[in-house]
Structure 1
């Protein structure tokens, strides 16, 4: 978990991408991964201060989003992290 709090945005995306890839290898569906990303987003926004400007922007978007928008944001983050 602490690796995901990395202060370097590219490193953070790479770590998140590895977690998504690992979940896919375990047979976890995209819907389940997105649900977990949504739950993680809630926890991070509430408990963890952003480590860089990009994380701060995501946190601020998260805070103004409603539940459906947060699901979209979580989906976008998992897709962004999965890009090679």
Structure 2
């Protein structure tokens, strides 16, 4: 009768071992997600991209306004020439 009890418990023990394996795998997944949420490397590159875009917009704006002023200056000089 003791042998019957041992064989009857084995599937239950396998089930418990499977559950523990599932819990370990789930914990690994949760740790991976937490690591990704706390990773700052992507944020830094996005900040640099935004900063570069802001600088590019400032350059384009200043060049276009200076370009208009230079164009007006050259046109006035050209009009005064014979």
**TM-score (normalizing by structure 1):** 0.24
Task: Return the structure number with greater helix share.
Answer: 2
Q: Which structure would you say has the larger RCO, counting Cα contacts within 8 Å and 6 or more residues apart? A: 1
**TM-score (normalizing by structure 2):** 0.25
